[in-house]
Amino acid sequence: MRGYSEDLRSRVIAAVASGTLREDVVWRFAVSLATIKRWLKQWRETRDLAPKRSPGRPGVKIGALVEALPARLSEHADATLDEQCSWWHEASGVAVSTATMSRAIARVGWTRKKSL
């Protein structure tokens, strides 16, 4: 899920700063009181309202795969996702799902449209 836009965040902060009651801001912008408090704290500490990155480790499998894919795709553009997954498993010893392969292919900007 994506964070709220910076525009909404700045409008909420401006409304609170102008003296509007927080309960009215909650109702007007449809955000929770806890969210308003969190945004106010973030604004006071950093003067920035950009959404923070979601917590969690970076993906391990996809980094090397994204580096190897352009050469593979230029040679075997018509291979199916299953074939690409099998190739990567043989080449690296790391098994990836078709969903992971699809995300990696999209990340390198390659379309999956097959030639006739």
Query: What pLDDT sits at residue 2?
Result: 74
Query: What pLDDT sits at residue 3?
Result: 83
The three-state (H, E, C) secondary structure of 4-18, written as one string: CCHHHHHHHHHHHHC
In Å, what is the CA distance from 40 to each residue of 25, 31, 36, 47? 13, 13, 6, 9
CA distance 18 to 13: 9
Q: What residues does each domain of the chain span?
A: 6-46, 61-107
CA distance 88 to 94: 7
Whether residue 81 contacts residue 98, with contact meaning beta carbons closer than 8 Å, is answered with yes
Which residues are CB-contacts of 103 (< 8 A; sequence separation ≥ 6)? 62
pLDDT at 115 over 80: no
Query: What pLDDT sits at residue 17?
Result: 96
